[in-house]
Structure 1
Amino acid sequence: MESNYRDIVLTDLEVDTLKGPCYLSDQIIAFYFAYLSGSFNTKKTDTLLVPPFISLLIANSEDTTCVEDYVKSWEMSSERLVLFVVNDIIEDCSGGDGGNHWSILVYDRTKNLFLHFDSMMGVNNFSALKLYDALKEFMGPGGESLSPHASSKKQRKKKKNVPYVKRGSKATQPPAIGESEATAVAGLPMFTECETAPQQQNGYDCGLYVLAIARAICQWSSQEHNRTDMISTIEKNVDYSVEMKMRSEVLEIIQEISADN
């Protein structure tokens, strides 16, 4: 038996991951992102939640032309907030169910800044920087490519001078990128590894934190952005109850939608 929602198909096996201590599949995350988009009317707030498989394809693409095509087709360069999912998969990314850890990377156009939230801080830093490196040339505040179209695979393989945070370290301030790269391309977005609290207490609830953080961001974007900042809203709404309640909440949503269909 399958559940369908906005072209997202969930098998019984995937739904069952919400019933026990299991690592969430990319389809569960894609479903909840689609649900948040509808619930919070994200088109009105210029907020885009990118499905996991698109984020993985961008992060692992060797061709900047393909990355640029994804950015254009999903209209990422015109949104105020863009939420990407990070996975530490290093081989075949076609399915999205590989890897061992999920985290979330947020682009805030008002600050021209990428923010990485990781419930096991430091574990996905390399993968987040990989996704950032793939996107940064196309996500400037003007919404246009910041590098010549001719800069393709050869340039991408060149070592980048980007910030690096060691596993387990904390960074509460955006680390500065190298001056040479910062001045090479005007408007290049920055990257910061946010101090994310709480940190998960096990090895399988990372996807739940991604969902909870995404929900808090959508709430902030639609209701609270004039009263508080995004990080404060995340801190207020994401706590250890995520590990106890989030699975049942998402499962209930799926069951209600299935009953209506």
Structure 2
Amino acid sequence: MASKGGKVLSYHDVLLRESDVAFLGRPHWINDNLIAFWMQYLEKDVYKAQRNQVEFVTPDVVQFIKLGALQDVAEQLKSLELERRSLILLPVNDCTEFELPGGCHWSLLVYDAKKKIFEHYDSCKGSNSAHARRIAEALKSLLCLELAQVTEVSCTQQNNSYDCGLHVLYNLQQVCTQRLCHRGEFTTDFCVLSDRMEHNRNALLRLIAYLAEKN
């Protein structure tokens, strides 16, 4: 669904509108725009010193990797130089339509170049496994891999039907903290996410308000 309403925050390559932010104020799935915002925040602010080590691949690009023709994917992703990154982060959605937005579950796929494996963090274990494997297969040749090995990683499980996207945001933060050997330079203490998803909704609302006022 396209974002609607007035502009709330223009942040690097992401424009958040009122309809995007409204998802955080009630029990509801969050959309790809909010996930892209958090990835931009981690990339541009928190882990900007590690920019050459990590690639934050936004949801729209991940969907293209999953559903696009392999030749087109290889051509379009050349500029990202994924083979040079030690860590690649990919939010996975279960939508199977290339042209239409949709899907009802998010998870996180991580490529660890040192181990040469993909790791899948799914808050509803097993739900997105097939989608994660499809993305790994699509990236195999780009990363010069003989085998696209995907390992399911134990992670906090959601206790409702709508917090999967928030789990992706939390797992993004946790993976970066663990793998980049750097706590990160968070703008404010209140934007550090926890394994309590209701806390994270409020933390993200405060972060967005803070950045909107700052900008």
Give the shorter-chain TM-score range.
Answer: 0.7 to 0.9
The match for 1:74 is: 80
Q: Shift in Å at residue 100 of structure 1?
A: 0.5
Between the aligned partners of 1:223 and 1:93, the Cα distance in structure 2 is: 39
Is 2:64–2:98's contact at 8 Å kept on the other side of the alignment? no
Residue 37 (structure 1) aligned with residue 43 (structure 2):
yes
Q: Is the 8 A contact 1:53 1:94 kept in 2?
A: no
Q: 2:181 aligns with which of 214, 223, 237?
A: 223
- Conserved 8 A contact 1:47-1:221: no
Secondary structure of 2:126's counterpart equals coil
Q: 1:221 to 1:17 in 2, by over 3 A?
A: same
1:192 is matched with which residue?
A: 151
Matches within 5 A, 1:84-123: 84-93=90-99, 95=101, 98-123=102-127
2:200 counterpart of 1:246: yes
Q: Secondary structure at the match of 1:83?
A: strand
Corresponding residue of 1:150 = none
Cα offsets for 1:224-250 (capped at 9, x unmatched): 59xxxxxxxxxxx98641x22111111
* Coordinate RMSD, CA, aligned: 2.0
- Note closer, same or farther for the CA distance 1:102–1:93 as it changes in structure 2 (3 Å cut): farther
Q: Shift of residue 93 of structure 1?
A: 4.7
- Alpha-carbon spacing, 1:42–1:204, altered in 2? closer, same or farther (3 Å): farther
Residues 93 and 36 (structure 1), Cα distance of their counterparts in 2 relative to 1, 3 Å cut? farther
CA distance in 2, matches of 1:89, 1:211: 19
How many residue pairs get aligned? The number is 200
Distance verdict in 2 for CA 1:43–1:93, change over 3 Å: farther
Deviations 1:173-227 (A, max 9, x none): xxxxxxxxxxxxxx4342212222x2100010000010001011122233359xx
C-alpha separation in 2, matches of 1:125 and 1:79? 23
8 Å contact kept, 2:67–2:98: no
- Higher Rg: 1
1:1-261 residue pairs with structure 2 within 5 A? 1-2=6-7, 3-38=9-44, 39-41=46-48, 43-44=50-51, 46-61=53-68, 63-93=69-99, 95=101, 98-140=102-144, 187-196=146-155, 198-223=156-181, 240-241=195-196, 243-261=197-215
Provide TM-score, normalisation by structure 2. Answer: 0.86
1:136-155 deviation per Cα after TM superposition (whole angstroms, max 9, x unaligned)? 12113xxxxx6xxxxxxxxx
Q: Is the 8 A contact 1:57 1:93 kept in 2?
A: no
Amino acid at match of 2:152: E
What does residue 151 of structure 1 align with? none
**Would you say the 8 A contact 1:40–1:219 is kept in 2?**
no
Distance across 2 between alignment mates of 1:4 and 1:26: 15
The AA in structure 1 aligned to 2:59 is P
Compared CA separation, residues 15 and 89, structure 1 to 2 (3 A): same
Distance 1:93 1:221 in 2: 34
Deviation of 1:75 (Å): 1.9
For residues 254 and 224 of structure 1, do their structure 2 counterparts lie closer, same or farther at Cα, with a shift above 3 Å needed? closer
- Give structure 1 regions of 4+ aligned residues with deviation exceeding 6 angstroms: none
Gaps of 5+ in 1: 141-145, 147-186, 226-236
TM-score by length of 1: 0.72
Could you tell me which runs of 5 or more consecutive residues in structure 2 were left unpaired when the two chains were aligned: 1-5, 184-191
